[in-house]
């Protein structure tokens, strides 16, 4: 009972306006969506007409049902990932319960028929582990090209960053990616060992544009080979979010 009340309480404290949350927390993905006519009209335009957060979340879900591979789906997926991390969307109580946990969900043996899979996302600086239905592998693989069947319980800890100097060992958070009710997966994210805080930096949605058009973040840089990230002009690899010589480490 207490757990149920806690879940409902968190849902009640969710962002009051999904569209404003995306503008504030996911500016790069939001602007990329604005540049694409279908994304602008069918997702952002749809959200502008919504009376509540549940409706705004459904705008993204409905687009995810019908769009095929292409720049629109790339922008939509980036908006979904960033919005999920920033708690912009109105997810179900089941998803909210996962988000409440400060412990990994998938750091144990998966219950059949689920099998452990992992994927390294060097662009965002994470490796993810999840228990997934192997029958849906081909579908998930369309969105996660690096999705791989694990041979052990903690595959991310065995993966090197692009610099070949660090492994993905530090548990960061448990998130749900995809489109709830359609195609979604809950996964544990692991950061490279000693990854400095780079939350002030953005990841370009379209790598070909790099940091072009991102206000106040003109400097393109990599950290342990992950990225590129768009940071302030004073950023360094050891301290992306401060001009001080010491870095804040993500734990």
**Domain stop point among 168, 192, 216:** 192
Same domain, residue pair 7 and 91: yes
Q: Are 162 and 192 in contact (CB under 8 A)?
A: no
Taking the C-alpha atoms of residue 249 and residue 251, their distance in angstroms, rounded to an integer, is 6
- What pLDDT score does 251 carry? 42
Q: Which two tokens stand for residue 9?
A: 């309480």
Strand partners, 72: none
- What pLDDT score does 247 carry? 41
**Domain stop point among 172, 192, 212:** 192
- What pLDDT score does 63 carry? 80
- What pLDDT score does 244 carry? 43
- What pLDDT score does 211 carry? 87
User: What do you get for the CA distance between the two ends of the chain, in Å?
Assistant: 31
Give buried/exposed letters for 219-250 (b at 16+ CB in 10 A, else e). Answer: bbbebbebbbbbbeeebbeebbbbeeeebeeb
Domain count, the chain: 3
Same domain, residue pair 72 and 112: no
**Domain stop point among 39, 62, 95:** 95
Domain that holds residue 178: 101-192
Same domain, residue pair 249 and 210: yes
- What pLDDT score does 249 carry? 45
- What pLDDT score does 233 carry? 92
**H helical segments located in the chain:** 2-12, 18-25, 27-35, 37-39, 45-48, 53-66, 71-85, 93-100, 137-143
**Which regions of the chain are under pLDDT 70?**
1-16, 68-69, 84-87, 90-102, 142-143, 177-184, 243-251
Taking the C-alpha atoms of residue 185 and residue 106, their distance in angstroms, rounded to an integer, is 11
Same domain, residue pair 172 and 225: no
Q: Are 13 and 99 in contact (CB under 8 A)?
A: no
């Amino acid at each position: 009972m207490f757990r149920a009340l806690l879940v409902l309480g968190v849902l009640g404290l969710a962002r009051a306006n999904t569209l404003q949350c995306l503008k504030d927390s996911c500016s790069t993905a939001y602007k990329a969506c604005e540049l694409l006519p279908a994304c602008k009209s069918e997702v952002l335009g749809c959200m502008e007409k919504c009376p509540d957060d549940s409706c705004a979340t459904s705008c993204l879900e409905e687009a995810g049902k019908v769009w095929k591979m292409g720049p629109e789906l790339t922008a939509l997926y980036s908006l979904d990932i960033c919005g999920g991390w920033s708690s912009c969307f109105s997810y179900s109580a089941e998803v909210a319960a996962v988000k409440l946990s400060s412990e990994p969900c998938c750091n144990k043996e998966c219950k059949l028929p689920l099998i452990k899979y992992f994927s390294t996302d060097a662009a965002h600086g994470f490796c993810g582990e999840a228990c997934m239905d192997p029958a849906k592998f081909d579908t998930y693989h369309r969105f996660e090209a690096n999705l791989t069947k694990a041979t052990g319980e903690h595959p991310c800890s065995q993966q090197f960053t692009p610099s070949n100097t660090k492994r993905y060992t530090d548990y960061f958070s448990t998130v749900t990616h995809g489109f709830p009710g359609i195609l979604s997966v809950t996964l544990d994210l692991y950061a490279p060992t000693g990854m400095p805080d780079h939350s002030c930096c953005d990841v370009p949605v379209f790598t070909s544009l790099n940091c072009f058009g991102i206000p106040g973040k003109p400097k393109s840089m990599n950290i342990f080979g992950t990225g590129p990230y768009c940071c302030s002009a004073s950023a360094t690899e050891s301290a992306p979010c401060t001009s001080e010589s010491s870095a804040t480490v993500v734990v």
